[in-house]
A and B are shown apart, each in its own frame.
Chain A
Amino acid sequence: MEKSKAGLLQGTLDMLILKTLSLGALHGYGIGQRIAQISDDALKIEEGSLYPGLYRLERRGWIESEWDVSDNNQRAKFYKLTRAGRKQLIVEEQNWERLAGATMKALRAS
């Protein structure tokens, strides 16, 4: 059965990036791969749209970047979560759970 692929709201993408980086430092391509993997390929994003999100999060101080060498010996920019980003992830997760809970409650109401 073909899975339906959901579009992503900006805030959701930011949260997923933070969540992905909480597991370790990664370059942009790796982040995209990891998001696809942890969401079981259900969340469809234009791959390039990840990058403005990464730059915004870095500007807010939630992630930081560093140029390094990738597994295939190419220069790549690696991102990692900052302490502020870790705190923000907790806030985002709590907000998301509250929103999802409220939405489910509304949907189940008869």
Chain B
Amino acid sequence: MSLIKATVRFLHAWRHPDEIAREVETELRFHIEMRARANVDGGMNPDEAQRAALRSFGDFRQFKTECCEISRSLPFDSTPLRMGLHIAIASLAGAAALWAANTPHKSPISVLWQLGFIAVLTCLFSVARRNKRPHRQ
């Protein structure tokens, strides 16, 4: 699968998370149903077969969540991108601080603008850092 195809799939997963969740659920339920049928063919009664199928499948909710998360994860290692973003925001914040310190005509409004700019950059930086998740395989 090309990077373009992977990116289209990733964007689709982000835009339609409910659709992805439904698809994952359909897929997992199909598996359980097939297993239950095999159990019935093996001599179990339907209720027992269904229970055994659920047991051998494991934690349905956990696997569904994992599959949905993987669908929504970037199709490439995002660490360099995140680092680049952090550096860019930190550089912009530094530049804004220098600009604020070196502006000759300091009207109260321009100082407020500069402080606001620095605050926004600082917030962006904090949010970017907070959203950093441990890398999953």
Contact = CB atoms under 8 A, between A and B. Distances in A.
Contacts of A29: 30-31, 34-35
A51 B27 contact: yes
Interface stretch (B62-70, B79-87, B125-133): B62-70
Contacts of B67: 51-52, 55
B107 interface: no
Contacts of A58: 1
B35 A59 contact: no
A59 B66 CA distance: 13
Query: Does more than half of chain B's interface fall in helix, strand or loop, or is it mixed?
Result: helix
Contacts of B57: 46-48
Residue of A29, A64, A72, A75 contacting most chain B CB atoms (<10 Å): A29
A72 B36 CA distance: 14
A10 interface: yes
- The contact size tier of chain B is 20 to 34
A48 B137 contact: no
Interface in A63-110: 64, 67, 70, 72, 74-77, 82, 84
A61 B1 contact: yes
A52 to B, nearest CB: 4
B31 A64 contact: no
A49 interface: yes
A59 B67 CA distance: 11
B1 A82 contact: yes
Given A47-B31, A76-B27, A52 B1 contact: no
Interface of A: 10, 27-29, 32, 46-49, 51-52, 55-56, 58-59, 61, 64, 67, 70, 72, 74-77, 82, 84
